[in-house]
Structure 1
């Protein structure tokens, strides 16, 4: 699952803390420092991994967070916030280690078998006989089937986040009994586990409920797991989870898990005052404030986050690929990274792909292969396209100024500085950037309605199978491609990569197709960085986990 971040860069809970970009004459074609930059981003995990039996019973864990407008993580409008909240009162059936190895949760799937016959893959999931939704409905093969039906794209009324993989399933059938689901694919789909890390209650999988039931609402009766909803305060945005009396597996170690709805500055103060137990250090100042606090550990490691600049190809001025390319050539990504990374001792190469991270096998720097930081070339291209500089330096054509909007959420200084840098870079080639402020609560609507010209947003990988998500970023007919760019011919090439059975070969093919997709000049990866947190000592299985999402019952306080 690739999950879009719900807040501006400096405000997202668990955002990557980014670090100082180097000042050097040794820059590559994308504008990054090559002398002192490591070849890959950090792949270190730092979360105090602690066995279940070494965690004490009881206690409360409080952190910053809230529910999202759309709480169904399978919905196209859901974000990272929704996925995190969902996992505390719904099934966590399949997880991954920090480096991406598959882990099956026996409290849900007591046995998993994968076979290939006649070139087609079959996955048999045997469901724990005790597994039951909170409303008393057995968790059985119908939940797997309902999840597939909602997400496979056959019914366009479902606003599904991603149909990839689900659309290669030809059937989900009852096995030896109702507690066994037999999933048959057309061909082989090696990353199948990413499709059923969690699943929907059949009642939640109707079109109406899939799209609307979880909008600012929880449905604990359709959930399952060691915790359930205690309070869900739609006024404050606070949430409390408590132990679920209907849970059949390992009981949750905590008495309560609490999310409090605070912005980043307030969150740091709350941590300093002991009101929350961990906090994301979003910049040098917040890290400085929490570093050295008594009873505090700084946990920092690799990050499966990436932040990118989205160009709306449906906007009148940005409909011209030449203008979009000129904008991208005008952006010095190393300077954007310097702003984001200021005051912190961390270095990484500029990201070169939307689908794989530089610490992953198969990664290639596709951005540098198709684009260079070249403001002089941008000027020439705009000249050739008929955009001539006016007396104020801003270009115009047919009486219309070359002015594009940049949507800025909230008022965080780091976000403002980043917007200002974009404005200065574009002004240098004759483009005026109109910075338009919007409320953080408008995030989902801005994207779903494409109410932007340029927009900075991020994605978080919930699994290691990056090549699977090529279509989500670049297919012209996919709602998740918020740039609107692409062509049917390119879509066909993208979808062909999903039919490659070998993961290494699939990644190689996806890299080649991504280079073609990046030549639409509507999407520009900017930076990643590590994840860094201040955590109260003794809080186990919390921190920088990369692809790992610790099961809720394993989170708690050490004995």
Structure 2
């Protein structure tokens, strides 16, 4: 699953723009001053103090920054990374991945998994742990798998599903030898099928009404399952506490409590320094400097399956013109943006060239560089040709209207402000005015779902390694998750054809080819990734830079 803003559980958005790395001079397509010394890939290092279950002590509390999201159902199109993370603490974590992306089945949910191909069609047989039960006493059986498929396969448009890809390839979910076995049949072969059922819905949560609305600012622990359940869910403060679940049948959680405290990023750094938090993200050089060297703590830093990109709303009047959008993109020096984001951090990476794969993954290609170069002179010529002539104040004018667009800036983070200022300066140099509109971080989901932006910077986190699966979520014109609104029915057809390719390698090759076409809509500009860097109290196990790995809640705790 990927994770992003208005994207699927697959693509749940990161609310704040935070990263970490180092970079360079204008025109060079690498995120460091000397392109010769640029690494060919971003970091793929994992750093999270991997610790066996039996070496973690009983008891203790684990406290971090966090809160619930507007939409807490990760299968919903308006869910973000926040929702996915909170969900995982009181719902099934049935399938996870290693840091490098190998599939891991959790025997507390799926005691056996068999995959076969008959007559060209794939069949997956999930045998569910006989003891598995939802907290309200409902058995976890084949009906939960069927309910999840029905809600997400796109056949009923009333469901605001995050991603239908893969689910729409399933022709049936049926009872196997008994109710504790689900037999899933696909039309053709789906090599990334595991990403569809990493978690699942209680059948009661899978009605249209509950799927869309039941989890809005609410938890439903009675429909959940797992080693932890909701202790407190404070609608006023936004704080959440998870406690051990007395109805859990599997391997017990090591912690007494898992606590989320609702704090802004600056306050979070101070809380970590004061010992109130066990873990904090170092989002920039300043925060890293503040938390480095604190007694009893350490820095954990590694690769990041995050990518931050600039989104263009093609429904806004000025940005409806593709030639103008291309000129905007040609005016943005991504190396300078990377320099701002990563200043003072000992990290180097190539600039990202794809929405679907990272440079450390097999099959990655720099699709963006094939269709776009930093070329402000070409941008000026294109704007001249489109009828936008320089005005007396340097801002271009056409038919009496100035060439200006809005940039939505969330919160008051200095690094985000500096990034916005850099965009404004770059665009001004070619005759475009950028109006920076400040918005509250709490309005993040609403801004995206209502498309209340011209330009918006946000990030995606990949929760699984199957990037090609999410091509449609980014680029299909008929997808709510494509917040740019760009694309065409013809391109949609080409995108969807890639999902039917059985071989993962061939699927990635085809997806790269189609992505190069999609990027020529000039509505989506990948900017930077950066490492994942965290301050962590010493002794905290299985927490840090994990790449594709999401440690099971019961494996998180304190070393003996």
TM-score tier, shorter chain, comes to over 0.9
TM-score, normalised relative to structure 1: 0.97
Matching of residue 328 in structure 1 with residue 329 in structure 2: yes
- Determine the C-alpha separation between the residues in 2 that align with 1:74 and 1:539: 30
Counterpart of 2:4 in structure 1 is 4
Contact map agreement 1:14 1:531 (CA 8 A) in 2: no
Counterpart of 2:198 in structure 1 is 197
| 1:100-148 deviation line (CA, Å, top 9, x unaligned) | 0000000000000000000000000000000000000000000000000
- Determine the C-alpha separation between the residues in 2 that align with 1:363 and 1:28: 16
Give the Å deviation of 1:12: 5.7
Counterpart of 1:173 in structure 2 is 174
Contact map agreement 1:37 1:348 (CA 8 A) in 2: yes
- Determine the C-alpha separation between the residues in 1 that align with 2:286 and 2:489: 47
Contact map agreement 1:111 1:126 (CA 8 A) in 2: yes
| 1:4-27 deviation line (CA, Å, top 9, x unaligned) | 159xxxx9689763112144x882
The aligned runs of 1:218-233 (5 Å cut-off) are 218-233=219-234
Counterpart of 1:62 in structure 2 is 63
Pair 16,446 (structure 1): closer, same or farther in 2 beyond 3 Å: closer
| 1:352-392 deviation line (CA, Å, top 9, x unaligned) | 00000000000000000000000000000000010000000
Contact map agreement 1:476 1:487 (CA 8 A) in 2: yes
- Determine the C-alpha separation between the residues in 2 that align with 1:355 and 1:550: 23
- Determine the C-alpha separation between the residues in 1 that align with 2:59 and 2:523: 50
Matching of residue 119 in structure 1 with residue 133 in structure 2: no
Counterpart of 1:419 in structure 2 is 420
- Determine the C-alpha separation between the residues in 2 that align with 1:388 and 1:61: 58
Counterpart of 1:347 in structure 2 is 348
SS at match of 2:508: helix
| 1:152-184 deviation line (CA, Å, top 9, x unaligned) | 000001000100000000000000000000000
Contact map agreement 1:22 1:37 (CA 8 A) in 2: no
- Determine the C-alpha separation between the residues in 2 that align with 1:278 and 1:417: 26
Matching of residue 452 in structure 1 with residue 453 in structure 2: yes
The aligned runs of 1:373-412 (5 Å cut-off) are 373-412=374-413
Matching of residue 553 in structure 1 with residue 544 in structure 2: no
Pair 29,307 (structure 1): closer, same or farther in 2 beyond 3 Å: closer
SS at match of 1:368: coil
Counterpart of 2:43 in structure 1 is 42
Counterpart of 2:497 in structure 1 is 496
Contact map agreement 1:26 1:33 (CA 8 A) in 2: no
SS at match of 1:482: coil
- Determine the C-alpha separation between the residues in 2 that align with 1:545 and 1:196: 21
SS at match of 2:369: helix
- Determine the C-alpha separation between the residues in 1 that align with 2:258 and 2:23: 37
SS at match of 2:493: helix
Pair 486,26 (structure 1): closer, same or farther in 2 beyond 3 Å: closer
The aligned runs of 1:463-482 (5 Å cut-off) are 463-482=464-483
SS at match of 2:448: helix
Counterpart of 1:337 in structure 2 is 338
- Determine the C-alpha separation between the residues in 2 that align with 1:232 and 1:310: 33
How many residues align? The count is 554
Contact map agreement 1:14 1:532 (CA 8 A) in 2: no
Moved over 3 A (4+): 11-17, 28-33
SS at match of 1:149: helix
Pair 403,29 (structure 1): closer, same or farther in 2 beyond 3 Å: same
Residues 27-36 or 256-265, more deviating: 27-36
Give the Å deviation of 1:3: 1.3
Matching of residue 290 in structure 1 with residue 321 in structure 2: no
* RMSD of aligned residue pairs (Cα, Å): 1.5
| 1:63-117 deviation line (CA, Å, top 9, x unaligned) | 1111100000000000000000000000000000000000000000000000000
Contact map agreement 1:48 1:543 (CA 8 A) in 2: yes
Give the Å deviation of 1:441: 1.1
Contact map agreement 2:71 2:216 (CA 8 A) in 1: yes
Contact map agreement 1:30 1:332 (CA 8 A) in 2: no
Counterpart of 1:88 in structure 2 is 89
Matching of residue 244 in structure 1 with residue 251 in structure 2: no
Counterpart of 1:357 in structure 2 is 358
Contact map agreement 1:31 1:333 (CA 8 A) in 2: no
Pair 37,257 (structure 1): closer, same or farther in 2 beyond 3 Å: same
Give the Å deviation of 1:56: 0.4
- Determine the C-alpha separation between the residues in 1 that align with 2:503 and 2:18: 31
Contact map agreement 1:16 1:530 (CA 8 A) in 2: no
Give the Å deviation of 1:478: 0.2
Give the Å deviation of 1:28: 3.5
- Determine the C-alpha separation between the residues in 2 that align with 1:550 and 1:352: 29
| 1:485-511 deviation line (CA, Å, top 9, x unaligned) | 000000000000000000000000000
Give the Å deviation of 1:37: 1.2
SS at match of 1:228: strand
Counterpart of 2:19 in structure 1 is 17
Contact map agreement 2:17 2:458 (CA 8 A) in 1: no
| 1:303-323 deviation line (CA, Å, top 9, x unaligned) | 000000000001011000001
- Determine the C-alpha separation between the residues in 2 that align with 1:430 and 1:270: 44
- Determine the C-alpha separation between the residues in 1 that align with 2:319 and 2:27: 32
| 1:431-464 deviation line (CA, Å, top 9, x unaligned) | 0001011111111111111110000000000100
SS at match of 2:231: strand
SS at match of 1:370: coil
Contact map agreement 1:29 1:371 (CA 8 A) in 2: no
The aligned runs of 1:248-259 (5 Å cut-off) are 248-259=249-260
TM-score, normalised relative to structure 2: 0.97
Counterpart of 2:271 in structure 1 is 270
- Determine the C-alpha separation between the residues in 1 that align with 2:300 and 2:31: 31
| 1:458-493 deviation line (CA, Å, top 9, x unaligned) | 000010000000000000000000000000000000
Matching of residue 508 in structure 1 with residue 516 in structure 2: no
| 1:407-452 deviation line (CA, Å, top 9, x unaligned) | 0011111111000000000000000001011111111111111110
Matching of residue 281 in structure 1 with residue 282 in structure 2: yes
- Determine the C-alpha separation between the residues in 2 that align with 1:288 and 1:406: 29
